[in-house]
Structure 1
Amino acid sequence: MVDPKFRHGCQQQHGGIILQPILCSISEAAKALGLGRSKTYELIAAGQLETVSIGRRRLIRIESVKAFAENLEV
């Protein structure tokens, strides 16, 4: 079951337009991948997850999280 606070599968409606989130926090990305924050920071340092900085916040591109998960070996 997905935590209701975790909004990545959700669509937000704003003025009649449905918006998909494009950035997420490091904690949210870690939850989405089933990893801890430390491992998520390791993936960022290794260049496997793409981040952007906005002010003092560091956010991960959701497309980067999806691409990482899709490229994992089974």
Structure 2
Amino acid sequence: MEPILLRVDEAAHLLGIGRTRVYDLIRLGQLRSVKVFDSRRIPRDAIDEYVRSLMAQAA
């Protein structure tokens, strides 16, 4: 079973980018995230949405 919420490093690995870039995407509002206590988490479906938005921009 896949996790529902990903750590920043897990999201970075899936996207093939660095952690800093993931934080940049979150700060720019391009990648949704939630705060769980003191940790930032990215919903798994937010990764899919981000990739779909990149594909739409490329079309």
Q: How many residues align?
A: 56
Larger of the two Rg values belongs to structure: 1
Alignment TM-score, normalising by the size of structure 2? 0.83
Alignment TM-score, normalising by the size of structure 1? 0.68
Task: Tell me the CA shift for residue 21 of structure 1.
Answer: 1.9
The CA distance in 2 between the partners of 1:58 and 1:42, in whole Å, is: 13
Q: Any gaps of 5 or more consecutive residues in structure 1?
A: 1-10, 12-19
Q: By percentage of residues, which structure has more strand? A: 1
What is the RMSD computed on CA atoms of the aligned residues? 1.3
The CA distance in 2 between the partners of 1:44 and 1:52, in whole Å, is: 10
Structure 1 residue 52 and structure 2 residue 34: aligned?
yes
Q: Any gaps of 5 or more consecutive residues in structure 2?
A: none
How high is the sequence identity, in percent, across the aligned residues? 36
Q: The residue matched to 1:71 in structure 2 has which SS? A: helix
Q: By percentage of residues, which structure has more helix? A: 2
Give the number of the structure with larger relative contact order, counting CA–CA contacts within 8 Å between residues 6 or more apart: 2
Structure 1 residue 35 and structure 2 residue 33: aligned?
no
